[in-house]
Amino acid sequence: MSEPTFATLVSRWYEENARDLPWRKPDVTPWAILVSEVMLQQTPVVRVLPAWAAWLDRWPDPAALAADRPAEAIRMWGRLGYPRRAVRLRDCAVAIVERHGGQVPDRLDQLLALPGVGTYTARAVAAFAYGQRHPVVDTNVRRVVCRAIAGEPDAGPATRPADLVATEELLPVEPAAAALASAAFMELGAVICTARSPRCGSCPVEAVCAWRASGQEAPAGPSRRPQRYAGTDRQVRGLLLGVLREATGPVPHQRLDQVWADDVQRARALTGLVRDGLVEPVGESSFRLVGDGPPAPVTRLWA
């Protein structure tokens, strides 16, 4: 009898140890999976869980979100961070309604053509929503493959084409098994093969891990420098958005001036919010969340 493959070992472990996350339920919709993947970008699971549930309670399908105002998407996004994701998710819902009759497409090329859907998200939806065979590569997967297969302690800060190739080579041929393995690789990196404190004694592939065999230690410092928040334009943007989210109409410039004392930095942050399509001017001296008026009919085609 042949030895179990790398993917088989990790998949068996996953089936017994995976976290009970709602977007992994067998009856979850492709739309719910797409929303989860967008929300989970650079955001911890614990913060996403309540936001994901509230979002789907309000907008259970793309058509419901497409029919609502962009401002409401920004409001519902709350403090998850990187609020442009909210606007892009609504843009994505509009495109799904216009191009695909309100159903999240199952073809990779069509997923990649949706607004705000990149290489990772498209493959994640194709695999986890439709059980297809695609390499789904995030930071956790890159770290697992880099350590276990290449024997290196750290995969570096960015995904490269070679990472997709290396991961795809590990996937089973059968699509459903490959989709399961993709989820398993990701979970292993998230809870066992972590960046700084890997739990090698609990790892299902410790015996075949090239990095473990090499005897190298985990890197002492972060692979990328943590982003400072306090005092940055990001903080000022968040404060401005907080005022605008709570408003029921246009907010006078004088009210926004109270958010941050530095006039230059505040003006720069507000200009950035307008440029990013999150905020729009009203008249000469007021601002509001973008589209914070009656919703327009969804009719035009997206490029």
Residue with tokens 């650079």, as numbered in its chain: 42
H-run or E-run covering 286: strand 286-289
DSSP per-residue codes, 225-255: PPPP-TTSHHHHHHHHHHHHHH-SS-EEHHH
First to last CA, the chain: 54
Catalytic residue from among 37, 72, 187, 280: 37
Residues whose CB is less than 8 angstroms from the CB of residue 54 and which lie 6 or more positions away in sequence, other chains included = 76
Whole-Å CA distances, 33 to 11, 15, 21, 26, 157: 20, 19, 11, 11, 25
Question: What torsion do the CA atoms of 71, 73, 76, 80 make, to the nearest 10 degrees?
Answer: -110
Could you confirm whether 37 is annotated as catalytic? Answer: yes
Question: What torsion do the CA atoms of 170, 174, 179, 184 make, to the nearest 10 degrees?
Answer: -50
Active site residues: 37
